Copies of this chain bind each other. A is one copy, B any other.
Amino acid sequence: MEHRLEQIKKQLHAQSYKLTPQREATVRVLLEREEDHLSAEDVYLLVKEKSPEIGLATVYRTLELLSELKIVDKVNFGDSVSRYDLRKEGAEHFHHHLVCVECGSVEEIEEDLLEEVEQIVEKDWCFQVKDHRLTFHGVCQHCQESVVESTK
């Protein structure tokens, strides 16, 4: 965790940005809640718990900055809020998501899975793929089980 923070600090410095206390607090929240898909507001409230003086605009600006540096990815799951998702260390590609239509939970898939599809797109559509966004909508394991349960 500290290692990750150190790494991010370097990335910022490399582009002559500073890791200010506010930015550090924001990154820490993202690291702690790596599994979640927090909105800017969510991040703001969590950061505020430890650094009450921070402003919402600063959080937005920080997330925007991290997004430009490809440290986080901005995602959107159909609702109107942007969510911010930390890239895994060394990940070249954006990871995929499984969104449960029953309970709204979001699971992540790190595996690429799209290599073949991308080759087809490059060849058949003459489109040079740089990145992708893949989200599946469906029913998560947990909700499948509850349905079985409730029909017993």
Contacts and interface: CB of A to CB of B under 8 A. Distances in A.
A70 interface: no
Interface residues of A, number: 34
Contacts of A117: 113-114, 117
A101 B132 CA distance: 12
Interface string A99-140: 001000001010001101110110001111111111111111
Given A127-B107, A127-B140, A121 B135 contact: no
What's the number of copies of this chain in the assembled complex?
A: 2
A144 interface: yes
A137 B92 CA distance: 13
A141 interface: yes
A78 interface: yes
A128 B132 contact: no
A6 B126 CA distance: 36
A132 B127 contact: no
A130 B139 CA distance: 8
Given A76-B78, A109-B125, A128-B138, 10 more contacts: A98-B127, A107-B127, A109-B121, A114-B117, A126-B140, A126-B141, A127-B139, A127-B141, A128-B139, A130-B139
Interface of A: 74, 76, 78, 80, 82, 98, 101, 107, 109, 113-114, 116-118, 120-121, 125-141, 144
